[in-house]
Structure formats: structure tokens, C-alpha cells
Amino acid sequence: MPEHRGLSPRHMNREAILPYGVTVDEVGVAVRETYRLMDGIDSFLIENGFKHLEELILGNSLSGILSEFLVKNVAAASAGIEANVKVGGHPDLLPCGHYESNSVLRGTEGVEIKASIQRGGWQGHNPEECCVMVFRYSPGHYEEQTWVPLTFVEVLCARLSKDNWSYSGRKGASRRTPTASITESGVEKLRCNFVYRLPKVGVGRHRQILAGCADGGA
């Protein structure tokens, strides 16, 4: 398994605006530790005759696990933010000392973490006004019988308002889980304030916007 993986410094956007004193380097530390954890899990599984984690669980389960890892690792890396200890609480990360006992069911201050393979249209359970940080990733996979480990390709962050969400609730006797999706305006906010972006993974005009290359150069 690869060692000491992390975000490429060349593609980390030092101009990104992050809340609550969180820095770009701290996000990099959180990703590095998430890589270390994932690589360790995969090494254990392979050494004991199992398949890689990505081959054992569904994609949405993997996204949930990654989100939990990232929440804990961002909290550990930053002095200004901590994990929300409330089960089912929102947002995932809270500014230190803002809420009693680091616990809130529905707060407006903090950062919601989302790990996703999707290029946009990210979802939540309710339209919420808070900061959102999206970690786009390419799941581990085989290329010509060689395992390519999970890789984060883009990290985005922005404060969204309720107007940046569309809501799909239950209808009639439906038991469908209510969902809220980030609208095009919200997605644009996120893409404009990218923390990290690898070449050619951005969408639309953002495909050519890279760290240190505002003119679109590589």
C-alpha cells in the first residue's frame, strides 16, 4: 500500500476562504490521516484474505464512512473546530466553545462535511444555513490488475443559505426519506471557493481553474 499519501501541494488553493480559523494545511492533514486510515484498513483486509473495503460495501456506505473519518480528522487537525457529539446532530463540526458540551441537534454555526463521488447536486436531509465542505473522491479500483487506492480529487467549501437548497419531502403515505439538494447557485458557490482541485476534474469553466493558475494554466 502507498505510504505518506496526501494532497498535492501544487493543487492546494492558498487563497481559499475557510471558516473558524481552519487552514488549508489543516485540511491537508485531515486528508492525509484519512488516507492513512483507509490504507491501513485495506492492508489489514488484504493480508487476511478479504477484498478491499471499497469492494465489500456499497458506495453510499463508503461515502458515509469517509465523511465520519473526515469529521474526526478535521477536528483533530484544527484548534478552532470540534466534532459535534450529538447523535444525528447538524452540522458535523462546531466552532470550539460555541455550543454547550460541543453538542447541538440543529445549529447554524459550524461545518457540514460531505464525501461524494458526484460532481454536483450534493444532498442532505434538510435545507440548512451553514458552511458545507465537500470532499470529492475517486474510489479505489483496479487498472490492469493493479489496485489504485481511493483518491480525493477536489475539496470545496462555502457558506450556503436556505435559498441554495431545494427540498423534496414526503408525499401522502410515502415512507421516502426527505432530502434536500444543493441547487446550481449553491454548487457554484462551492466551486468558486475550492480548497483543492486536480487538473481536469473541475466542472464547466472550473475545469481550467487551478491553484496558482487563475488564468487556467496548468
pLDDT tens digits for range 62-96: 999 999 999 999 999 999 999 999 998 999 999 99
Distance between CA atoms of residues 4 and 15, nearest Å: 25
Distances (CA, A) of 65 to 9, 77, 132, 213: 25, 18, 17, 33
Q: What per-residue confidence (pLDDT) applies to 166? A: 87
Check if the beta carbon of residue 26 is closer than 8 Å to that of residue 70.
no
CA angle in degrees (0–180, nearest 5) for 158-164-169: 130
Q: Higher confidence at residue 190 or residue 216? A: 190
Assigned fold of 9-208: ECO RV Endonuclease; Chain A (3.40.600)
Hey, what's the cell of 86? 450529538
Check if the beta carbon of residue 117 is closer than 8 Å to that of residue 63.
yes
CA angle in degrees (0–180, nearest 5) for 17-19-21: 100
Question: In the chain, where are the structural domains located?
Answer: 9-208
Q: What per-residue confidence (pLDDT) applies to 213? A: 62
- Give the number of other CB atoms < 10 A from CB of residue 178: 12
DSSP code, position 110? S
**Closest by alpha carbon to 116, among 176, 54, 67, 51?**
67
Given a cut of 60, whether residue 172 has pLDDT beyond it is no
- For the whole model, what pTM was predicted? 0.91
Given a cut of 50, whether residue 1 has pLDDT beyond it is no
